[in-house]
Amino acid sequence: MSKLVLQSLTKRFGGLVAVNGVDLEMTEGEILGIIGPNGAGKTTLINLISGIHVPTSGNVFFDGKDISTFPAHERSKMGIARTFQLIHPLENLTALQNVMIGFMFAQGMNQKDAGVAAQKTCESLKLEHVERDVGQLTILETKKMEIAKTLACGPKVLFLDEVMAGLNSDETKDLIETVKRIAQEHNLAIGVVEHVMGVIKMLTARVIVLDAGEIIAQGPYNEVSQKPEVIKAYLGGEA
Amino acid sequence: MSKYIKTIVMAAVAVLAVAFPFYTGAYPQSIAQSVLTYMILAVSWDMLLRTGQISFGIAGFFGIGSYAAVLSMLYLNLPPMLTILIGGIIAGAIAGLLGIAVLRLRGMYFAIVTLAVAEIFRIIMTNLKGFTGGPEGELLPQLIFQGNPYLTYYLMFGMAVLTIIISEIFLRSRVHYALTAIRNDEIVARSSGVNIFKYLVIIFIVTSVIQGMTGGINAQTYGFVTPESSFSLDYTLLPLAMALLGGIYGTMGPVVGALLLGIVSEYLKLYIPYGHLVIYGIIVVIVILYMPQGIVGLAARIRKAGARNE
Ligand SMILES: Nc1ncnc2c1ncn2[C@@H]1O[C@H](COP(=O)(O)OP(=O)(O)OP(=O)(O)O)[C@@H](O)[C@H]1O
Ligand SMILES: [Mg+2]
């Protein structure tokens, strides 16, 4: 059974339709690519699933349950986790403490257990310098910390919103391997938003292409990238 | 090493504070009680600030607690200690009801609304003449502990210790993580399972109970309430300046700030009436411009720099 089901999900901001009638299913162990030009509605789609926005119409089902109006913290507890396109490490806390938060509040652990669990998660991601203030981490370390923060919530479904942005090619390879590994280890359904198509090719079996809030194509990347409507969307409607 | 020093210093301060009334006259003692009062308010204000919410409503809950203590004694003839508790309970209950509406606001909007609410409390107390004594307020027939200044000092001291303990518990428990996350980024906090509204309401109630009880103790000590004195803007602005001077987001900052500013301003008052308010203004401006972490933050920076040079 699909872990996550979206039914004609729609979000309007005033006159703008950011997400328009999206139908989608995601199953455990699957990595789904979510691509589309700037402003296509990728981040908004994640916000609707994670509860940051309430849909204007349509529904979000998780484990068969309609969670369309559940608050974000409830969804986080149920196992929906996500990173943020504009990352916001929590300042005045160390990297380890940043990771502890999910263990404490999404998974209900006490402070001590959360510390141990966070340490383990960071080790599994080969994230060092966990005692450092978040401001002192390298970009790669920061990105790994952001992923560790989502794993701390005990996710079943995970969305990564442009986590590879800003990394060089070695770092990108490192993080691609990390994502593949956690998908297997935790049997996750992962949605990956990326503008770098190389990353999408290496990571995903299936992609959806969003344009102006609508899914205009889906399937394996190699097929989808040949479709005229996709090429057109990326070239700005002139091809 | 520094941990031992900290413990020793704290023990010394505690002994000093306890022994203090026996070696001084009535005047220093009344100053000390006033410093303790502001210290409690400063710490409680900081406790809410740790969520990112800036309250200008301290005087409101302080005044509510003052009135609740005096009126429950006058009308219900309750023992003074109980009326102080009632001051806290009523302030907390009002904070709970109010919080459900007000805590949806953020930043400047929250600040202004808390200021307005405090003002509304004052106006209500002024106008409920038959019940509250109107603009003249009410007088208690006798003071708590028959006016024994040692005991009132210890009562306020006990309240300060309690407040400091609660503040430290919050700083050392998971509450600290929730509040720091909320202050940093609410969307990140929510996405990590933090029920923001729950924590905001709890902290708002707890700090209001503290402020209400402190008002209750103060009213029982001096034996009267009036709208002007019980809801005085001093109870909002001075704790705020003290916390900023000492350093925010911790217990030590507001405590140090209250000690310094409280004592300095009492002496200034003698030489230039209202001069202390000018000094407050100047201090707030300097602190905000040049040492946003306050005295405690500055001390920590100096210590770190010293450690690096060794
Ligand atoms: N909170 C909001 N209020 C109003 N409009 C919004 C809001 N969030 C997004 N939008 C608009 O919705 C549209 C979709 O934005 P979204 O951020 O989802 O796109 P995206 O596909 O993630 O783009 P990018 O690749 O640049 O990150 C844009 O036109 C954007 O301006
Ligand atoms: Mg986006």
Nearest Cα to B69, choosing from B81, B54, B84?
A: B84
| Residue A120 in domain | yes
Average pLDDT of span A168-176? 94
Q: Is residue A92 in a domain?
A: yes
Question: Is B202 domain-assigned?
Answer: yes
Residue at B98 is within a domain? yes
B106-150, pLDDT tens digit by residue? 999 999 999 999 999 999 999 999 999 999 999 999 999 998 989
In a domain, B218, yes or no: yes
Measure A48 CA to ligand 2 centroid, in angstroms: 13
Show the tokens assigned to A27: 């199953």
E-only strand ranges, chain B: 138-139, 224-225
* Residues of chain A contacting residue B192, judged by C-beta atoms under 8 Å apart: 73, 76, 101-102, 105-106, 149, 152-153
pLDDT of residue A92: 86
Number of domains within chain A: 1
State residue B11's pLDDT score. 85
Does residue A89 line the site of ligand 1, with CB under 6 A?
no
* Residues spanned by the domain of A145: 87-153
- Could you list the beta-strand ranges (E) of A27-176: 31-35, 57-62, 65-66, 80-82, 157-161
- Give the ipTM: 0.93
- Considering the domain boundaries, does residue A80 fall inside one? no
Q: Atom 24, ligand 1: which residue's CA is nearest?
A: A38
- Our CA dihedral for B159, B160, B164, B170, rounded to 10 degrees, sits at 40
Rg (C-alpha) for chain A, rounded Å, is 18
Range of the domain at B150: 23-232
Cα A38 to averaged position of ligand 2 atoms, centre (Å): 7
Predicted pLDDT at B17 = 85
Q: HSE on the CB side for B202, CA within 13 Å?
A: 13
Q: Give tens-digit pLDDT for A72-92.
A: 999 999 999 999 999 888 888
Residue A231: inside a domain: no
Instruction: Examine residue B148 and state whether it is found in any structural domain, yes or no.
Output: yes
Q: Do B185 and A90 touch (CB under 8 A)?
A: yes
Check residues B12 and A124 and name the one with the higher pLDDT: A124
Pick the closest to residue B111 from B103, B120, B121 (CA basis): B103
Cα-to-centroid distance, A42 and ligand 2 (Å): 5
pLDDT digits (tens, 9 = 90+) for B268-280: 878 887 777 787 7
Compute the distance from residue A50 Cα to the ligand 2 centre, in Å: 14
Q: Decide if B199 touches A, using CB distance below 8 A.
A: no
Pick from A76, A90, A111: CB nearest B174? A111
| Per-residue pLDDT, B23 | 82
> In chain B, how many domains are there?
1
A129, A95 contact by CB (below 8 A)? yes
Determine the residue of A10, A19, A35, A43 to mutate for testing ligand 1's pocket, defined as the one with the most ligand atoms within 8 A of the Cβ atom.
A43
| Average pLDDT score, chain A | 94
Instruction: Let me know if residue A93 belongs to a domain.
Output: yes
Backbone torsions φ then ψ of A211, nearest 5 degrees = -145, 125
Burial of A38 per CB tally in 10 Å (0-12, 13-18, 19+) = exposed
* Distance separating alpha carbons of residues A211 and A20, to the nearest angstrom: 9
Q: Is residue B114 part of a domain?
A: yes
Q: How far apart are CA B165 and CA B161, in angstroms?
A: 6
Nearest to B173 among A50, A93, A111 (CB): A111
Give B115-148 as a DSSP string: HHHHHHHHHHHHH-HHHH-GGG-EE-SS-GGGG-
Start-to-end CA distance of chain B, whole Å, equals 15
Q: What is the C-alpha end-to-end distance of chain A, expressed in Å?
A: 39
How much of chain A, in percent, has pLDDT values that exceed 90? 90
Work out the number of other CB atoms within 10 angstroms of the CB of residue B277. Answer: 17
A chain contacts of residue B196, beta-carbon cutoff 8 Å: 73
